[in-house]
Amino acid sequence: MPKGYQISQYDEPLAQEGWLEIVTSQGARRIELERLHLEEDTAKLLHQGKKSLVDFNRAGTPLMEIVTKPEIKSPEEAKVFLQELRLIMRYIGASDADMEKGHLRCDANISLRPRGEDKMYPKTEIKNLNSFRAVEKALQYEVKRQSGEWRSGKINDVTGTRGWDESKGETIPQREKEAIHDYRYFPEPDIPPLNLSQEEVDAWRAELPELPADRRRRWQASYDLKTADARLLTEDKLLGDFTEHVIIRLAGELEGSVGATAKLAVNWIVNKLVEVMSEKKINLAQLPFEVDDFVQFLLLVARRQVNSTNAQILLRKMVETGKSPEQIMAEEDLTQSEEGFDIKGEIIKVMNSHSAQAEELRVGKTALIKYFVGLVMKETKGKADPVTIEQEIKKQISSN
């Protein structure tokens, strides 16, 4: 049975005045936090047609509520804020923070005001938001709905609660919101205030792992990665950890800058390995090979012992079979070798048999270089080095 009241921290929250940095399509900005407090869960409402069911299974379970200051400016910012918060929860191991499973929930408060005004108008709270997409869509709908009311001269003067109806793509009114004095706060005698010393806070802070924003910055500063790649490898922590292990081990084997080594690894992981895993419907934990196997694969690529075309075949075979790259190279005869091939002669042969395209190439249509590289690769059964072929083609057309 519900006891008729909810335990919640009010005037003595655990933390105040924090911030969280987010990056949206409009750039980076900090979202200031009002407070972080504990309260107990009450119940879950399940709406079915015209009926509402109340599920008390999680009543009394403690939860942490984070309240932002009223400065989120768009539905996109609200969504990105929640995504960044989820990422932090996962990095520190506090929770999987899956909205769909109820680990992370959001009540979104929104109000509009004329541009240039500082006055805060009554807000509307939106509930029943169980995904990042739902948060963004519900806020987009409310912006449109409230804008229409403003244009019609109806200014919202009552704080209220609305529920998001995913099937209709709209919010529906639920109730008017009480004022703060209606909550009738009083001290809970069995739960005294929690007093934390600065020394304790500092000690816990020192134990924190690298947080997502710090990792993104380090990826870009240390490895000179593109923003999109740094973001992807931060959002998927397991993939990021795997990639970093590969880079560190690869850098110990190859000469040259760490940045160049990182770009080689990231290119093959983000653009090729992830694609194959997606096709096979497997995740990183299900890969049948170890980090060292992937490092050996990249060493073969970097040392030009396998060309790019055969390297893709090799990688796919590794994912499918779990065999080492060396074993697959031997079984599939994928080793790059120009022995037994007259590259210059092969180029002359394919140009003679494709004379029209060869003439276009000679008069400046350089896009055809790749076309002829492909023809020569076919003649050499994929054994020759495409870089060498391209260089030889350029020599031939420049000498004519």
In this model, does residue 338 exceed pLDDT 80?
A: no
- Between CA 370 and CA 375 the distance in angstroms is 9
- pLDDT tens, 92-108? 999 999 988 888 999 99
Least confident of 4-13, 94-103, 163-172: 4-13
- pLDDT tens, 38-79? 888 887 777 777 888 888 888 888 889 999 999 999 999 999
DSSP state of 54: E
In this model, does residue 397 exceed pLDDT 80?
A: no
Name the pTM for this structure: 0.78
Can you give the pLDDT at residue 110? Answer: 94
Neighbouring-strand partners of residue 21: 30
Can you give the pLDDT at residue 179? Answer: 61
Confidence category of residue 340, pLDDT binned at 50, 70, 90 = low
Can you give the pLDDT at residue 177? Answer: 63
Domain extent listing, the chain: 15-206, 212-332, 343-399
In this model, does residue 181 exceed pLDDT 60?
A: no
Q: What CATH number should be reported for the domain whose range is 343-399?
A: 1.10.10
- Which position has the token pair 């069911």? 53
- Between CA 123 and CA 155 the distance in angstroms is 11
Least confident of 7-16, 269-278, 360-369, 373-382: 373-382
Can you give the pLDDT at residue 19? Answer: 94
- Between CA 236 and CA 5 the distance in angstroms is 40
**385 touches 336 (CB < 8 A):** yes
54's torsion region: left (phi>0), alpha (psi -120 to 50) or beta?
beta
- Average pLDDT of the chain is 87
Q: Are strands 27-40 and 15-16 parallel, antiparallel or unpaired?
A: antiparallel
Percent of the chain with pLDDT over 90: 48
**346 touches 380 (CB < 8 A):** yes
